[in-house]
């Protein structure tokens, strides 16, 4: 099963918890055992599994990436001024794969799935959720 979910973003750099939307797709699929792949389309966004206790970890991720990859100093900035966005997305990566166990994602208590926006805000980011069943 494959479903595309659309997420609006309201920050230039930010993490957006998409776990409930992915859970909905997993439940709708009826798959009991298998894998769910979560993949963002676009060269300036990523997918990350991270803690969702409060906003501190997400804020720390954004701050770390801004320190490691500052804006305005890259060759690609000459084209469209978002060289840092491409580098951040490449470092984080576009996807995560999570096991489906007894009809639910095998995330631990503190793990959630985040869309990482590095070139927002955007009206929508398209995230492809693919469920593979283990038969």
In the chain, the N- to C-terminal Cα span, in Å, equals 14
Tell me the average pLDDT across 82-89.
98
pLDDT at residue 135 in the model: 81
- Residue 21: which H helix or E strand, with range? helix 19-29
pLDDT in tens, 10-49: 999 999 999 999 999 999 999 999 999 999 999 999 999 9
Q: Give me the mean pLDDT over the 100-118 stretch.
A: 97
pLDDT score of 120 more than 90 = yes
* 113 pLDDT more than 90: yes
38 phi and psi angles, rounded to 5 deg = -120, 115
CATH number at residue 114: 2.60.120.460
At 19 the pLDDT is 98
3-state secondary structure 100-119: EECCEECCCCCEEEEEEECC
SS3 of 89, please? helix
Provide φ and ψ at 51, rounded to 5°: -70, 145
* Average pLDDT score, the chain: 97
- Mean pLDDT calculated for residue range 80-87: 96
Q: Which residue has the tokens 């690609």?
A: 76
Question: 122 lies in which domain range?
Answer: 2-133
Burial grade of 62 (CB within 10 A; 0-12, 13-18, 19 or more): buried
Render pLDDT for 88-107 as a digit per residue (tens, 0 to 9): 999 999 999 999 999 999 99
* Total structural domains within the chain: 1
pLDDT tens for 48-69 read 999 999 999 999 999 999 999 9
């Amino acid at each position: 099963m494959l479903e595309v979910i659309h997420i609006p973003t309201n920050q230039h750099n930010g993490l957006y918890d998409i776990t409930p939307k992915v859970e909905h797709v997993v439940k709708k699929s009826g798959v009991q055992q298998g894998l769910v792949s979560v993949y963002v389309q676009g060269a300036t966004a990523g997918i990350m599994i991270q803690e969702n206790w409060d906003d501190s970890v997400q804020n720390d991720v954004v701050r770390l990436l801004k320190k490691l990859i500052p804006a305005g100093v890259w060759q690609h900035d000459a084209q469209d001024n978002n060289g840092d966005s491409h580098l951040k997305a490449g470092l984080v990566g576009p996807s995560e794969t999570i096991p489906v166990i007894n009809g639910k994602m095998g995330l631990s208590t503190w793990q959630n799935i985040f869309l990482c926006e590095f070139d927002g805000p955007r009206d929508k980011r398209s995230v492809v959720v693919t469920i593979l069943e283990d038969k």
